[in-house]
Amino acid sequence: MTELDDRSRELRDNLAAVRARIADAARAAGRAADDATLIVVSKYFPVADVRRLIDLGVTDFGENKDQEASAKFAEIFEGASEQERAALRLHFVGQLQSNKAGHVAAYADVVQSVDRAKIASALAKGAERHGRTLEVMVQVDLDGSDPGRGGALPEQIADLAAHVAGLEQLRLSGLMAVAPRGADPDAAFARLAELSRDLRAAHPSADRISAGMSGDLEQGVRHGATHVRIGSAVLGPRPAV
């Protein structure tokens, strides 16, 4: 077995700590220890770190910027077998403009930040052009206090979900949200869980909840998160850009 370099050991230890937090939170909520999927948000970090994380067993990655994500994962996938490519899932979690959506549809497996019908339609056209079916989540702005973060308001979810569900190239899988700045994450994610129950009443297969980051993953898991998006707790402070 190849000896790990210092950075790989750092990532290994950080991953172990985060996975333990997820498992402890799941057990405390009466869920199976492996009930929530870890997405490592690798934005601004180099290809070398992504390769190290893959070697350490990470399968799900999150990216925020189209240009960075497409270049980074093109390099990752270059020379990879179909089996190796199929083992990885790339989640686009950043705000998306409609003129970028078709490009993102070419390489992302999941887009978690759909907050407008225009974005959904553009993703569907891009997915059709590339012969793909794309999983999408509706991003929710839980209180409307920070529109710069994006997200559909709670009262907009039903119409947007119906629009997504009507697009053949898209598969509606659930909701994503960030706890509002200064808000109690428990209250925020409890509200998200309610919205998820409402969504599932109309779309039973849309049962995924993406909630919780490095500082509030426990609260996300407590309220039913099936996916948590972790950056700094695994990779450390974001590099200067």
Q: Classify residue 60 by its DSSP letter.
A: E
Instruction: Determine the pLDDT at residue 1.
Output: 44
User: pTM for this one?
Assistant: 0.95
CATH class of 6-235: alpha beta
**Sign of the four-CA dihedral 142, 148, 151, 156:** positive
| Mean pLDDT of the 113-136 span | 97
| Mean pLDDT of the 85-95 span | 95
CA distance 95 to 110: 13
* CB 172 within 8 Å of CB 152: no
Domain coordinates in residue numbering, the chain: 6-235
Instruction: Determine the pLDDT at residue 2.
Output: 62
Residue type, 118: K
Q: Tell me, rounded to whole angstroms, the distance of Cα 60 from its chain centroid.
A: 8
Instruction: Determine the pLDDT at residue 50.
Output: 97
CA dihedral (11, 34, 31, 178) in degrees, to 10, reads 50
What pLDDT, in 10s, does the model give residues 29-80?
999 999 999 999 999 999 999 999 999 999 999 999 999 999 999 999 998 8
What pLDDT, in 10s, does the model give residues 157-214?
999 999 999 999 999 999 999 999 989 999 999 999 999 999 999 999 999 999 999 9
Is the per-residue pLDDT at 149 higher than 90? no
- Average pLDDT of the residues of the chain: 95
CA distance 76 to 194: 38
* CB 43 within 8 Å of CB 65: yes
Is the per-residue pLDDT at 145 higher than 50? yes
What pLDDT, in 10s, does the model give residues 100-124?
999 999 999 999 999 999 999 999 9
CA distance 90 to 41: 10
